[in-house]
Chain A
Amino acid sequence: MAEVLVTRVSPKGPRQPLGTARAAAPSLQRLLQRPQQVAGPDWLRQRRDRFWERFVAAPAPSSTRDEDWRRTDASRLPLYELLEKQQLRLASPQQQARSEGASADAAQAARGMSDLVPFGDDSLEHSGTIVAAITRQGVSLHGSQQDLEALEQSGVSIVALGSLANMDDTAATRIRQLLSLLEGDGPLSAAWQALWNGGALITAPAGTHLSPSLWIVHDLSGALSVPATLLWLGEDSSLSVCDQYRKVEEGAQDTPDSSESSWTGDGGFGYYTPEPQTAIPTCTLAATLAMVGRGAQLSYGTLQEQPLTTWHVSHTLIQLEQEARLSALVSRLGAGTEKSWFDVNLVGRGSDAEISGIAFASSSQHLDHQSLQRHLGEDTRSRFTLKCAVSDHATSVYSGLIEVLPSAQKTDGYVSNRNLLLDPGAKADSIPRLEIGANDVRCGHGATAGHIDDNERFYMTSRGIPSHEVDRLIVRGFFEDILAAAPFPSIAAVSARLLDEKIARWQHP
């Protein structure tokens, strides 16, 4: 284990031009410790080193200086504090103790994992879903016999990104290509590149189709979790994938059929503090990177239901080749603070992206979503719709940009954000923007914020429905069109269930 001490500068105070930030006064220097490192091939180690250097050299995000962070207080991002003081390592003391005894069985882990996905009345068997539990030992899959056979016959492969040592060359090439999608100059993408640890590479070779959806449950039990989902879809393939981000308390999730075998920690690849501590919020830095080949179709879901003590930072970047299609549902219900970027690059002619999101911010949550529809190819189409309900003293921030490059004639793009404000203290900020560089395009944006309409409420109560039930129906109804158009059924079912739980918590705190 090599812990490298690196000096970094964290400019604070008055706005400074980016170039001079590094020359700030030495008194502002912070010491960041590189956490215990993940094993892997040389090329990856070197890559991580490079990005770590870049990360420590870059100024930390600043709410006064960075447009992206203007409405979210970057100074409270726990990432730097965790890296400064905490000597992060790859396993918690409990996990270490456990691995000295019998190591948890991966199949048990999968069973525990599948219990976490609330498929509800549709048990996993009938959900048309395969849960992929990513463990240190590899991937273990859980689903109906029929679905598992379909997966085997399809040619689709799932590689756990924990076992990088024995990776074959094709996988290495794809991982490299996919990682290169997120090489922007932000400090957090550099941090992710340096630290990502755990997750899966899913590959659909050209022409393959898989009808059951693949459900990746990310156990984010570490103090700092940096999960990766890498998706590679060959020409004319099709795939449905869902990322579910949640935290499982240490030891809290014993499987019903085996009380001593807990999967916790084996499913998660976070970084842990030597001693459990609660002074600093936990932090997740997640990324999903996808390349969707010519004529291929990706149906994608992402569900964030982290505890309020967590900061959730995520990057999603999906690149579409010619005639490729993306249909996605983003569901954001948890975390104390969320800062997420969802970018789609419509590179190939005729590619199409349809992205819908639901978010519900309650109590003192602060959810900040940013999206980019980047049109590079001709004749491309994109839709991004985010609906947010905001209650109590929570805040929703949304900024969405459609960028049309000169090469992207005949672009058809729309970005919209609808907010439902449920309490006087709830706030929603919404900044949809267009940057059009071509002259033959059709693009638009819309943003609204409203309250529950008194007449609507009276109409419903006049049929005998009590007011809390009316509110529930209206909030649920607000999201209904998005759930009804979800890219695949299990994501709609699970999102609806999580949403119902969230509404219940809002109504009965």
Chain B
Amino acid sequence: MPRSEGLTVKNLRVTTAGKEILSGVDLSVPAGEVHALMGPNGSGKSTLAHTLMGHPAYTITSGSIHFAGQDITHLRADQRARLGIFLSFQYPVAVPGVTVVNFLRAAMRSQGKELPAREFMKALTAEMEKLKIDPAFRSRYLNDGFSGGEKKRCEILQMAMLKPRLAILDETDSGLDVDALRIVADGVSQLRNPDMGVLVITHYYRILEQLQPDYVHILHAGKIVASGEAELARTIEKSGYEPILGPEAASPEALPV
């Protein structure tokens, strides 16, 4: 039974381009908790993230997604966003011609979170300062020509401004230098509150050390094959996926470096 708060995914099967990628995923991220999702490359983590966000290229063939007491299985992406779901993209998309400021204003307006111009600029400036983003980025075109790390920071900036109730961070920690990683982790920690759930998709233990997840789930071949406490992530950091998945499952590139 779906909980009235947070995210509940039941027996989710998803295909794209005629291929089944998720083969029955069950997952709950209650409000106030931080869950980590790990798994080898190609196991379906981003597919799950996109499906939770409502990407039209991923077809749900069975199962359901509930959020905040609502069945959202068939909602469009913009409707889900307005319910408070936020995805920090593994590969943020460049939007030439649309400035960071204009984009954020449009997003906040459509989520009913519009601020008067001055207040908005004040809030934006403060968040950019925290994330150590150069103020010049306000009038740059969104993600256009941003470095990998700049894109990730800009995702967190959007999250900080939009204040979601469920944040899905798809490898936001990848490609960040040590300082940036701490800044991003601090950004997420500061936003945490009892009404907000966080699903962190990552290959690395380092960010989990800072975010202290309540649970860690392992996705493999489209299924959650193991769930446990933070300890599980440390095991993977030390020994790879082999002890959990068996020898044939752990391909060398899947191992955290």
Contacts and interface: CB of A to CB of B under 8 A. Distances in A.
Nearest to B112: A464
Interface string A446-473: 0000000111101111111111010001
Contacts of A459: 89, 92-93, 95
Classify chain B: how many residues form its interface, as a range.
20 to 34
A456 B95 contact: yes
B98 A473 contact: yes
B106 interface: yes
B84 to A, nearest CB: 9
Determine chain B's interface SS by DSSP, over half rule: mixed
Given A463-B81, A464-B82, A469 B95 contact: no
Contacts of B76: 461, 467
Interface string B35-74: 0000000000000001001111100000000000000000
Interface stretch (A17-25, A116-124, A213-221, A478-486): A478-486
Nearest to A387: B97
A464 B103 CA distance: 11
B250 interface: no
Q: Bin chain A's interface residue count.
A: 20 to 34
A477 B106 contact: no
A477 B97 contact: yes
Contacts of B54: 462
B110 A466 contact: yes
B32 to A, nearest CB: 23
B111 A464 contact: yes
Interface in B165-199: none
B233 interface: no
A464 B56 contact: no
B163 to A, nearest CB: 12
Interface in B79-115: 80-82, 86-87, 89, 92-98, 102-103, 106-107, 110-111
A458 B110 contact: no
B94 to A, nearest CB: 8
A465 B98 contact: no
A455 B55 CA distance: 9
B95 A476 contact: no
Contacts of B110: 463-466, 469
Interface string A34-53: 00000000000000000000
Given A463-B158, A466-B78, A467-B78, A476 B97 contact: yes
A74 interface: no
A462 B77 contact: yes
A458 B95 contact: no
Contacts of A460: 95, 103
A461 B93 contact: no
Contacts of B162: 463-464
Contacts of B57: 454, 458
Contacts of A463: 78, 81, 86, 103, 106-107, 110-111, 158, 162
Ranked 7 nearest A-B pairs via Cβ = A477-B97, A464-B81, A480-B97, A463-B107, A459-B93, A477-B98, A464-B111
Given A465-B110, A478-B96, 6 more contacts: A456-B93, A458-B57, A463-B78, A466-B110, A478-B97, A480-B97
30 contacts: A456-B93, A458-B53, A458-B77, A459-B89, A459-B95, A462-B53, A462-B77, A462-B78, A462-B80, A462-B86, A462-B87, A463-B78, A463-B86, A463-B103, A463-B106, A463-B110, A463-B111, A464-B111, A465-B78, A469-B106, A473-B98, A473-B102, A473-B106, A477-B97, A477-B98, A477-B141, A480-B96, A480-B97, A481-B96, A481-B97
Interface of A: 453-456, 458-467, 469, 473-474, 476-481
